[in-house]
């Protein structure tokens, strides 16, 4: 009998989906159901969990109290991602690898395990979780990455400021990178980290940006069906 091929999916999971203000139990429960249903269909998941609003709140508070370095801001964000990542790992404990990927050196042992869910957090200053997702994709020779956040599309202008903002369904990396900052800074809020975008363009990766709240939409993407979101690359 032919061995079933496992399809590995890398998801950059926005921390603000997991903990917008407090833990979103309903989202986490539904997300878990989707992931576990796909595991039964021979999918394997690498989840890179962001710090989201938890990180931004701490960084903002530190700025108000006193001047701190960008490196310390990064470390605040990293620890926020690790808190969120450990929480997500406990949710998937039956299928998850027992440790969190916290550095490049720890990738091999996790990937080579039989765990169907592997969780990664922030690594070191200067690296966003988007960058880590792209680094993992490069390491594992995976060309597609899913970016789940609280936005549905990349827009031609900030939809929070301009009611005329139009959604973009397909965009090249060159055009995407020209729309946003070229440098990474702690707490930066863009659809995809600019350093990760540069690396993804170089490697020829495709990133799907979609709203993580719409898990039926995520399911469509995983099934290879038409979905609502933006494809970059």
Residue 103 covered by a domain: yes
Q: pLDDT of 24-36, one tens digit each?
A: 999 999 999 999 9
Residue 108 covered by a domain: yes
pLDDT for position 45: 96
Is the model's pLDDT at 187 over the cut of 70?
A: no
pLDDT for position 4: 64
Instruction: State which residues form the domain around 159.
Output: 7-232
Q: pLDDT of 77-134, one tens digit each?
A: 899 999 999 999 999 999 999 999 888 777 777 777 889 999 999 888 877 888 999 9
Is the model's pLDDT at 175 over the cut of 70?
A: yes
User: In 3-state terms, the chain is what percent helix, strand and coil (to 5)?
Assistant: 45, 20, 40
pLDDT for position 194: 87
Is the model's pLDDT at 8 over the cut of 60?
A: yes
Residue 143: give its domain's CATH number: 3.40.1160.10
Instruction: Kindly report the average pLDDT of the chain as a whole number.
Output: 88
Section 10-28 average pLDDT: 92
Tell me the C-alpha distance between 194 and 121, whole Å: 18
Is the model's pLDDT at 2 over the cut of 50?
A: no
Residue 82 covered by a domain: yes
Do 153 and 165 meet the contact criterion of CB atoms below 8 Å apart?
Answer: no
14 pLDDT tier (thresholds 50, 70, 90): very high
- Listed in sequence order, the DSSP H helices in the chain are 15-18, 25-39, 52-65, 70-91, 107-111, 129-140, 173-179, 194-203, 215-222
pLDDT for position 170: 95
Q: pLDDT of 188-223, one tens digit each?
A: 667 888 889 999 999 999 999 999 999 999 999 999
pLDDT for position 106: 74
In terms of C-beta density within 10 A (0-12 exposed, 13-18 middle, 19 or more buried), how is residue 48 classed? Answer: buried
Total domain count for the chain?
1
pLDDT for position 12: 95
pLDDT for position 180: 78
Residue 2 covered by a domain: no
Lowest mean pLDDT among 69-73, 108-112, 159-163: 108-112
Residue 60 covered by a domain: yes
Residue 1 covered by a domain: no
pLDDT for position 91: 94
């Amino acid at each position: 009998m032919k061995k079933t091929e496992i399809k590995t999916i890398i998801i950059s999971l926005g921390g603000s989906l997991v903990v917008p203000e407090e833990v979103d139990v309903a989202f986490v429960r539904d997300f878990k159901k989707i992931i576990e249903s796909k595991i039964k269909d021979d999918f394997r998941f690498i989840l890179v969990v962001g710090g989201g609003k938890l990180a931004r709140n701490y960084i903002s508070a530190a700025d108000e109290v006193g001047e701190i370095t960008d490196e310390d801001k990064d470390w605040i964000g990293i620890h926020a991602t690790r808190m969120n990542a450990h929480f997500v790992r406990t949710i998937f404990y039956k299928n998850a690898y027992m440790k969190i990927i916290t550095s490049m050196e720890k990738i091999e042992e996790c990937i080579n395990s039989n765990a169907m869910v592997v969780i990664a957090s922030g690594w070191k200053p200067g690296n966003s979780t988007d960058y880590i997702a792209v680094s993992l994709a490069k390491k594992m020779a995976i060309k597609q990455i899913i970016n789940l956040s609280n936005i549905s599309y990349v827009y031609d202008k900030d939809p929070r400021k301009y009611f005329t903002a139009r959604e973009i369904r397909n965009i090249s990396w060159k055009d995407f990178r020209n729309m946003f900052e070229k440098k990474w800074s702690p707490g930066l809020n863009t659809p995809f980290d600019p350093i990760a975008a540069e690396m993804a363009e170089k490697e020829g990766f495709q990133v799907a940006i979609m709203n993580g709240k719409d898990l039926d939409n995520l399911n469509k993407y995983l099934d290879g069906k038409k979905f609502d979101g933006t494809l970059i690359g």
